């Protein structure tokens, strides 16, 4: 399959990538500025690979570990953006399933999520998201499936 490129994103600065990505997020996430609140920044955007980072600081449980819900939020944000990019203009992606397996805890630093497609169909798209710490140790593996429909 030939990867569809978004030429305007090829050499775009991170700040502009983040502004573009924020517009692709579902309205319920965007209206509450949730992604900003937990500190997600996007560093790569294409249909084949979406990368984002998030600080552990501010996203911990009372026990000092990265909150699993924050990991799932990072995974959902990355996977949903990939599904929106795949859907194309005039269509939208709506999440219908997400799951996550937490492999290990992080207590500090920055975590990175990498979303890659599992299936890019006409009506459904699925992404796998792997979240790693700064030493590239796998913290979480998630899968998100979105239904693609007319906007």
Catalytic positions, please? 76
Beta-carbon count within 10 A of 46 CB = 15
Q: Distance between CA atoms of 134 and 78, rounded to whole angstroms?
A: 18
* Dihedral in degrees, nearest 10, Cα atoms 139, 116, 93, 76: 10
Q: Distance between CA atoms of 34 and 110, rounded to whole angstroms?
A: 18
* DSSP conformation class of 4: P
Q: Which residues contact 50 (CB under 8 A, 6 or more apart)?
A: 42, 44, 78, 79, 81, 82, 85, 114, 115, 127
């Amino acid at each position: 399959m030939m990867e569809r490129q978004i030429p305007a994103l090829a050499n775009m600065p991170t700040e502009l990538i983040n502004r573009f990505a924020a517009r692709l997020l579902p309205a319920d996430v965007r209206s509450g500025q949730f992604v900003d609140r937990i500190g997600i920044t996007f560093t790569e955007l294409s249909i084949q690979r979406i990368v984002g980072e998030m600080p552990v600081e501010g996203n911990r449980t009372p026990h000092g570990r990265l909150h699993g819900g924050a990991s799932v939020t990072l995974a959902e944000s990355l996977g949903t953006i990939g599904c929106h990019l795949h859907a194309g203009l005039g269509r939208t992606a709506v999440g219908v399933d997400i799951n996550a397996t937490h492999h290990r805890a992080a207590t500090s630093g920055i975590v990175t999520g990498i979303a890659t497609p599992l299936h890019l169909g006409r009506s459904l798209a699925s992404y796998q998201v792997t979240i790693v710490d700064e030493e590239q140790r796998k913290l979480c593996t998630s899968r998100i499936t979105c239904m693609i429909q007319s906007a």
